[in-house]
Amino acid sequence: MALFCTRVPRRSLSAELTGGPAGRVGGNMEKTKSVGQMIFAAIQCTWGIPQTFLGFVLFLRYIRAPHEWYRGVVRTRWDLEGGISLGLFIFTPDGEDEWCCKMAAHEYGHTRQSLLLGPLYLAAIGLPSLLWERLEWCRRLRREKNIPYSWFYTERWADRLSSSIYI
Ligand SMILES: [Zn+2]
């Protein structure tokens, strides 16, 4: 599993939105990246609206949890162990260790699947991924056959996308 694990400076969402000191980085590279992230967000809010809407509902459910921008998506650090990706929103455990970092990168890979698949994302990725993770039959299969979680197409593809182009 070749996961891209980067330490993105933790900047508050409010500072990013208001252009406060913590959100200012400067430079043409950053401006280009910002335009790319705006386009990314616009596509997630139109083409990817079904999952982005669900993500927004979940975001409101965990509104008191810490939030931050992460590579152009809203990352919520909740108190659960697992992660989920719904369009413009990703949810990961609240930690700074390598596991949390890898999970954020992986969930970001799913957001790129949302970008590519749009309205097909929930049926093609969301549901199969959820079943692969939750179904007892799938858990037993992984355990007994020693199959890694990342073997399943939804996960392997997300890992690959997470390590490609950085927005
Ligand atoms: Zn996944």
Span 122-141, pLDDT tens digits: 999 999 999 999 999 999 99
Q: For residue 9, what pLDDT is reported? A: 45
Q: For residue 23, what pLDDT is reported? A: 43
34 part of a folded domain:
no
Number of domains within the chain: 1
Q: Distance from the CA of 84 to the center of ligand 1, in angstroms? A: 7
Task: Look up residue 59 and give its amino acid.
Answer: F
Task: Give the range of the structural domain holding residue 116, as residue numbers without chain letter.
Answer: 52-162
24 part of a folded domain:
no
For the chain, the average pLDDT equals 86
Q: Distance from the CA of 26 to the center of ligand 1, in angstroms? A: 33
**Which H or E run includes 84?**
strand 84-86
Alpha carbon of 73 to those of 32, 150, 167: distances in Å? 16, 22, 10
87 part of a folded domain:
yes
127 part of a folded domain:
yes
For the entire predicted model, the pTM comes to 0.82
46 part of a folded domain:
no
Q: Distance from the CA of 58 to the center of ligand 1, in angstroms? A: 17
Does residue 1 carry a pLDDT above 60?
Answer: no
Contact 155, 148 (CB under 8 A): no
Q: Report pLDDT digits (tens) over 21-54.
A: 444 445 787 888 889 889 999 999 999 999 999 9
57 part of a folded domain:
yes
Q: Which residues keep their CB under 5 angstroms from ion ligand 1?
A: 155, 158
Q: Distance from the CA of 150 to the center of ligand 1, in angstroms? A: 8
13 part of a folded domain:
no
Nearest to 111 by CA among 68, 79, 58, 70: 70
98 part of a folded domain:
yes
Q: Distance from the CA of 122 to the center of ligand 1, in angstroms? A: 12
